[in-house]
């Protein structure tokens, strides 16, 4: 089988503590590598190193180019989106068609017994149900490498069986599985290579296939006037029936007793593999044929940035984080233009200062929305950290553009309503164009400052917020700061140049091409530097 990933003498340290050392491993297409060990042994760390989410401290990791990675994190992030909305957004990022997303997601929701829960906000779902959503988003499009961090955590027994069937089907299609788990059932059901992490070392464990027991998933139609007899297994009620998961040896007894009590057998599915001699393994395994996942295309393409932007907007506007900056902007604009007439450049420079502060606020609140697991899954989909962080900046640019457009259209509308009497002298076409460019540049500068201190750049969030707000306020009031001392002038030169560029238009009646290009260019340049610094810091610090 084709080798996809190879680890050579790989090690990982956090501070002075060495978590992993001298890890040597090859991962092949269609192979399942399972890592076991105690909590904190380093299982999740090695998964993320394999996926490129964490940089190794020593050794090397070789990966075949163009591989599509998906991930099921141990704790799936909660969201204001419903499970259906989230899966649809993920499908768009993957480049799937709408009808294809709907067909696949409906089938997967049904298999995981999520009927009635797919349209509830994910923040209201239980841990086990969230984990099901995590599995569904990971198998919506077949990946080359699937990272599974405690995938059965919180899942009911029937869903565990469905999960095993799905991932075995993925293996048949050539997906490499990298699994971190404690459950012996999962190790036996999917594992090809089992590695125990202990004391920072990796030890391969011999998998005794001859001792494995197959599992049976048995479903009976529900009956209001009948009670299930005592059985050697635990059952659970699901919509429309009763489900049991038992060993293959006990399955006949379960079926016989239930039929004797008058229950009608609805479905009987075997999970796992036929016992084979120790040390041997059939290439195809014991996968249920009808659950074999179709190939979605040989060519592997990175996720769509436009799909990511759609997801970011849907997630952002599902929160209340947009409401307060929008309300402040509207109150300010109507207050500013209540008294007539006003100067064109004077009113727009005041608006630019406000947009700078509002977008700094928006950038800070956007940072607080970030969840590590969500970022990791998105980076794997896009197959590029840099592309993901640029996408975040692009989202904030578009958000700033919306605020800029509102800041321009409201005074233009008020001027039209007042028969052109709002501005003195009257506003020209070049003022509208120059004002839009100037306001947009100020908004971009604010968003770049607001997102600079990401939670991975500065973990103390209170300190990050205080420092960012302090810098923004000092940047606005820089002209009022006494700058007699050379060191004060030197420090002020590093502040965002919002006060400097607004001062360019002092005393001017209209926007000129030269002054507008200079002011906007300075803001965009400084904002671009802040964005580049943010991306560099995040790529260095990783997760």
In this prediction the pTM is: 0.80
Identify whether 286 is part of a domain. no
Identify whether 363 is part of a domain. yes
Q: Are residues 378 and 421 in the same domain?
A: yes
Distance CA 199, CA 89 (A): 41
Sign of CA dihedral 329, 332, 336, 339: positive
Final residue of a domain: which of 154, 180, 207? Answer: 207
Closest CA to 50 of 69, 76, 65, 22: 69
Distance CA 369, CA 79 (A): 10
Distance CA 252, CA 292 (A): 26
What is the CATH classification number for the domain harbouring 86? 3.40.50.300
Closest CA to 122 of 133, 113, 112: 133
Final residue of a domain: which of 175, 207, 239? Answer: 207
Identify whether 223 is part of a domain. yes
Domain range enclosing 160: 3-207
Q: What is the DSSP string of 38-76?
A: STTSSHHHHHHHHTTSS--SEEEEEE-TT--EEEE-SSP
Cβ within 8 Å of residue 532, ≥6 positions away: none
Element holding 3 (H helix, E strand): strand 3-14
pLDDT tens digits for the chain (543 residues)?
A: 789 999 999 999 988 888 899 999 999 999 999 999 888 888 999 999 999 998 899 999 999 988 899 999 988 888 889 999 999 999 999 888 889 999 999 999 988 888 888 999 999 998 888 989 999 999 999 999 999 998 887 777 777 778 888 888 899 899 999 999 887 778 888 888 999 998 889 988 876 554 445 667 777 776 666 777 777 666 666 666 777 777 766 776 777 777 777 777 776 666 654 433 333 333 333 322 233 333 333 344 556 788 899 899 989 988 888 889 999 999 999 999 988 789 999 999 999 999 999 999 999 999 999 888 899 999 998 888 999 999 999 999 999 999 999 999 999 999 999 988 899 888 999 999 999 999 999 999 999 999 999 999 999 999 999 999 999 999 998 877 766 677 777 888 889 999 999 889 988 999 999 999 999 999 999 999 999 999 999 998 887
Distance CA 215, CA 246 (A): 6
Q: How many domains does the chain have?
A: 3
Identify whether 124 is part of a domain. yes
Identify whether 161 is part of a domain. yes
Strand 201-205 vs strand 193-198: parallel, antiparallel, or unpaired? antiparallel
Q: How far apart are the first and last CA of the chain?
A: 31
Distance CA 198, CA 295 (A): 37
For residue 130, give the DSSP letter.
H
Q: Are residues 146 and 124 in the same domain?
A: yes
3-state DSSP call for residue 438?
Answer: helix
């Amino acid at each position: 089988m084709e080798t996809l990933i190879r680890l050579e003498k790989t090690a990982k340290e956090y501070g002075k503590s060495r978590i992993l050392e001298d890890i040597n491993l090859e991962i092949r297409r269609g192979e399942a590598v399972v890592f076991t060990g105690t909590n904190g042994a380093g299982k999740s760390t090695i998964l993320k190193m394999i996926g490129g989410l964490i940089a190794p401290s020593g050794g090397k990791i070789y990966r075949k180019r163009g591989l599509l990675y998906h991930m099921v994190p141990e704790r799936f992030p909660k969201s204001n989106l419903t499970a259906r909305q989230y899966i649809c957004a993920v499908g768009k990022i993957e480049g799937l068609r709408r009808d294809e997303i709907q067909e696949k997601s409906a089938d997967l929701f049904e298999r995981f017994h999520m009927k009635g829960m797919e349209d509830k906000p994910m923040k209201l779902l239980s841990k086990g149900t969230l984990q099901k959503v995590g599995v569904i988003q990971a198998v919506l499009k077949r990946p080359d490498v699937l990272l599974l961090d405690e995938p059965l955590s919180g899942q009911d027994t029937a869903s565990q069986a469905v999960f095993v069937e799905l991932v075995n089907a993925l293996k048949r299609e050539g997906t490499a599985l990298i699994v971190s788990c404690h459950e012996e059932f999962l190790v036996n059901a999917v594992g090809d290579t089992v590695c125990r992490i202990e004391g920072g070392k990796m030890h391969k464990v011999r998998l005794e296939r001859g001792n494995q027991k197959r599992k049976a998933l048995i479903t009976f139609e529900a009956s209001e006037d009948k009670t299930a007899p005592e059985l050697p297994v635990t059952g659970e009620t699901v919509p429309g029936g009763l489900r049991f998961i038992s060993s293959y040896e006990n399955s006949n007894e379960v079926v016989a007793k239930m039929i004797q009590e008058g229950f009608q057998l609805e479905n009987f599915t075997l999970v796992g593999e036929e016992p084979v001699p120790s040390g041997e393994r059939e290439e195809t395994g014991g996968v249920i044929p009808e659950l074999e996942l179709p190939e979605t295309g040989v060519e592997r393409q990175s996720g769509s940035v436009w799909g990511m932007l759609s997801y970011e907007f849907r997630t952002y506007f599902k929160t209340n984080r947009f409401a307060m900056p929008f309300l402040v902007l509207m109150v300010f604009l109507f207050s500013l233009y209540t008294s007539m007439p006003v100067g064109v450049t004077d009113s727009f420079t005041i608006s630019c200062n406000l947009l700078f502060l509002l977008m700094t606020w928006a950038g800070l609140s956007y940072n607080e929305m970030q969840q590590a697991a969500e970022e990791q899954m998105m980076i794997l989909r896009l197959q590029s950290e840099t592309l993901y962080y640029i996408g975040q900046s692009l989202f904030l640019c578009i958000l700033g553009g919306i605020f800029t457009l509102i800041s321009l259209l409201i005074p233009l509308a008020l001027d039209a309503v007042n028969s052109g009497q709002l501005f003195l002298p009257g506003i020209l076409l070049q003022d509208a164009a120059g004002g839009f460019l100037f306001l947009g540049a100020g908004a971009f500068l604010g968003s770049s400052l607001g997102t600079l201190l990401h939670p991975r750049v500065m973990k103390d969030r209170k300190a990050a917020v205080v420092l960012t707000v302090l810098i923004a306020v000092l940047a606005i009031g820089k002209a009022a700061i006494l700058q007699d001392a050379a060191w004060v002038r030197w420090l002020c030169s590093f502040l965002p140049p919002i006060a400097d560029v607004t001062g360019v238009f002092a005393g001017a009646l209209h926007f000129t091409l030269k002054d507008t290009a200079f002011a906007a260019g300075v803001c965009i340049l400084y904002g671009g530097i802040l964005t580049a610094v943010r991306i560099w810091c995040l790529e260095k610090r990783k997760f």
